[in-house]
Amino acid sequence: MAGGKPSLSKLQQRADQANAARNWSEAASLYEQVLAIDPSRAALWIQLGHCRKEAGDIEGAREAYLEAAERAPGLSEPYFHLAHMVRHRGDLWQGFLAFHEAYKADGNAQAASELALMIGTKDSFDTVKADVQSVFDAADYLELNPDIAQAGVDPLLHYLMFGWKEKRSPSHIFDPWYYEQRYKSQIKPGELPLVHFARNRDKGFRGNLLSHERWFTPKAPSEAEWAALSPARLSSETRAVVILPVYKGYDETLAAVYHALSARGDAPYSLLVINDCGPDAALNAVLSALGEKGLFDYHMSTVNRGFVQTCNHAINELSGGLDVILLNSDAFVFPGWFERMIAHADRDPRAATITPLSNNATLCSYPVRDKNNLLALECSPAALNDLAGQINAGRAVDAPTGVGFCFYMRRSVIEEIGALDPVAFKLGYGEENDFCMRSLNAGYRNLIATDIFVFHVGSVSFSSTKQANFDAGQKALLEKHPNYPLLVQHHFKADPTRSGRRALDAARLIEAAKGATLILTHNWGGGIDTYLKDKKAEFSANGRPVLLMTVQDRHFVSLFSDEGIFIPNLAGIDLRTEMPLVEALLSGLDLDLVHLNSFAGLSWRFHKALLALIAGLPAKKTLVVHDYAAVSHHYQLIRPDQIYAGIPTLEDLRSWTAMTMEQAADPCDVDERQEAYRALFASGAVIEAPSRAAADIMAGFYPQAVIKVVPHREDWNAAKLPAILPRRPDGRLRIALLGAIGPHKGGDLLLSLARDARARRLPIDYSIVGYSSDDAALAAEGVKITGRYADNEEAMTHLASLQPDLIFIPSIWAETYCYTLSIALESGIPPVVFDLGAQSERLRAAGRGTILDPRLINSPAALSDTLLALALPAKAEPKRA
């Protein structure tokens, strides 16, 4: 001992003894004394961290672990212990980051295992991270998820820990919702969808419905390209001055200048490039040289004015008192753009501002409004501009504001109300909106020209400064124009550019999908979706495009394509006002085949109109009997009071028209309906029924029609399905139902059976693998309901868990095929059906299960007794009860 003080080794020995005795505070104090003398001992910092943690000093423990990590950069142990501590206290994110630091330090295998566990993957962490990195775009992730950008966290790590579970898009090219829906059966348990994509993208797997390519990538032109251009300088012929403010961005700026010149042709505009004392020396040199060659008017500011004052300097002092068009240095125009824009200005002198459509311009965006549409369509931006000029010629709509990427400003309005406001919007972010509002207040109009398309890259970067500037601009805008947000909100609801976007989608579809097969159906889901999935694959194999048209909500139709033709604006077409669009579209497509499945949900007025339209097409036509819409608006031929009374006669159907049926969207006279369908059949439509029973019922109403029996094709892969567990008889009868159980599927009957079982204390347990039209009422009577299942495999998984003794298909109508019976037959669990339609026909053919007398439908108590009396083991032949 020196000077009466214990030696360093003695202090450490005492600290270790206190630590071993779990005297945490004393041990921590002694370790602190040792480290005050020799702070280089990383192992002691770790021990200090342990002691502080056990003593409840979490922040002190964190500081000790981090100090240890700093003292020994290649050591994973400090981060590993820190990770366990913060995760145990509920901070998953900090725990994940600390485990990642431990892994980075020396490849700690335990840390890698913990990271994989926290991610939720069965693959190794290093493999998952590498696979994700190969397709992850940090800039895209921050742009698509601004809350993550504002949080300032590592985007890749955030995606691994949280983003993929929250179905956030990791890039513009990967849509997790689309990918999981399309490839669900191929993604292994514990495999991230993005990892599956990374491993299979070279095999044709699609990350989104649209494209994996960016639509337009700006690149600085070559010397030869510059040399081929004609000058665009201010002259006596100039109608308007295109002002292109520049600052930085080499490729974008030079490409924007080039497009403004190459798209000009003989159009009477000049180009003014004004450089706000930009910092890019290489860019400045090229612009100066091009300006000296006389390609455009060039002005280089000696001071940095900022965007708004730079624009005003150009507007007020350098534009010769002419109309101006502000063009961003990342906006790209194409031939014909100016002629159409100035034509709008000439048509209406009250037009103060004009903004074209763009891929990235909020309320002016196409194809999806208020989105950066940067993924490639099947046509180039220049081709789309040409198409807009043809399809939407002369069309413009009013808006409360324009968007500054390409922004026409009338000189007379500028002189009346002033140019951009450099005081309220010193840093930008709202100055063009303010000009538009001042124009409105002065009695002028702001137009969106749907016959012009300009590509706009737009900013994909994020910084706190940019966000602060944007917030300041929006605050100033709201202070000057308190009604601005409401006007924009109402504009978005009214969506006046929709008709222009629809027209462009329709024209692109006609161009890309001529000779297509059109499948028409309802949008209710159910077994028909399984059928349509198989049919789409079958039709696509023939090499023709396949389009899907759904009917819904009485007077709407929607068109979809899985062929890479992105047509989001053809959803929700209102037949009350847009029938001409549908007529032009179906006629223009020159369809090869119209495959009709169901008009359920459409009112008779439009049901009839579509039948007549389709009958008049030269295409081949097939009507598939999924229901009996061709016979009656009671599609299942069940009496409106939901009592099964056998197959009705025409006289019965006529009497039913006097009865109310709320769910019938298209009530009409029976004879009128038959006349409409006879016209369809007379046009050469082929009728296909998936069962003999359905064909016979249709033939009873259309005796002259030729009806082919074409059973639905089903491709089951039994090896993928979970084994049904052995039934364990315990004195109770377990009965499962499958699918969407509405009244016609036996929903009311099931409720009566459940009530009877509860009232008489019958040993019967009912479950629905699926859902019903009244889950609450059934659950109240003890019926277990799993909820919707995504596919047959998931249904089989539920059956394996429930272990039912019987699968009951209580449909009270003559089904045309019955997909749920397919699941029952595949499961090996004995099915029970009524002696009706395809369900009993198919069960007889299968030689399994039980077929019940339909009279039991109206006698639930007798039906309960019959079910209890059934022998549980399946018989060799279906028996009749």
Kindly give the residue spans of alpha helices, DSSP state H, lying in 134-249: 138-144, 146-151, 155-158, 176-183, 193-200, 223-227
As to burial, measured by CB atoms within 10 angstroms (0-12 exposed, 13-18 middle, 19+ buried), residue 710 is middle
Spatial CA neighbour of 812 closest among 666, 634, 664:
634
Residues 6+ apart with CB under 8 A from 463: none
What is the rounded CA–CA span in Å between residue 764 and residue 784? 12
Contact 805, 735 (CB under 8 A): yes
Residues of the chain with CATH 1.25.40.10: 8-173
**Phi then psi dihedrals of residue 327, to 5 deg:** -125, 120
> Domain spanning 721-880: which superfamily?
Glycogen Phosphorylase B; (3.40.50.2000)
| Beta-bridge mates of residue 275 | 246, 300
Spatial CA neighbour of 665 closest among 633, 642, 638:
633
pLDDT on residue 644: 82
pLDDT on residue 663: 64
Residues 6+ apart with CB under 8 A from 824: 738, 807, 809, 831, 849
Tokens for 806, please give them: 């019987």
Segments of the chain with pLDDT less than 70 = 1-5, 459-465, 662-663, 715-729, 871-881
Reduced DSSP (H G I as helix, E B as strand, rest coil) percent helix, strand, coil of the chain, to 5:
45, 15, 40
CATH number, domain 513-709, options 3.30.160, 1.10.1760, 3.40.50, 3.30.70: 3.40.50
Give the number of other CB atoms < 10 A from CB of residue 349: 12
Tokens for 730, please give them: 């315990």
Phi-psi sector, 420: left (phi>0), alpha (psi -120 to 50), beta:
beta
Residues present in the chain in total: 881
pLDDT on residue 790: 79
Give the number of other CB atoms < 10 A from CB of residue 54: 16
pLDDT on residue 751: 97
pLDDT on residue 756: 97
**Phi then psi dihedrals of residue 620, to 5 deg:** -70, 150
What is the rounded CA–CA span in Å between residue 737 and residue 831? 10
Spatial CA neighbour of 621 closest among 510, 513, 517:
517
pLDDT on residue 728: 60
pLDDT on residue 176: 96
Helices 24-37 and 8-20 sit at what angle, rounded to 10 degrees? 160
Spatial CA neighbour of 120 closest among 188, 204, 48, 197:
188
What is the rounded CA–CA span in Å between residue 509 and residue 571? 13
CATH number, domain 228-329, options 3.90.550.10, 3.40.50.1820, 1.10.10.10, 3.40.50.150: 3.90.550.10
Contact 324, 238 (CB under 8 A): no
| CA 25 to the chain's CA centroid | 55
Fold of 8-173: 1.25.40
pLDDT on residue 657: 86
The mean predicted confidence, pLDDT, of the chain is 93
Local structure of residue 185 (DSSP, 8 states): G
Spatial CA neighbour of 433 closest among 394, 396, 479:
479
State the greatest distance between any 2 C-alpha atoms of the chain, in Å, as a whole number.
119
Residues of the chain with CATH 3.90.550.10: 228-329
Reported as a single tens digit per residue, the pLDDT across 402-418 is 999 999 999 999 999 99
pTM: 0.87
CA distances from 205 to 54, 130, 135, 186, 827 (A): 51, 19, 13, 11, 31
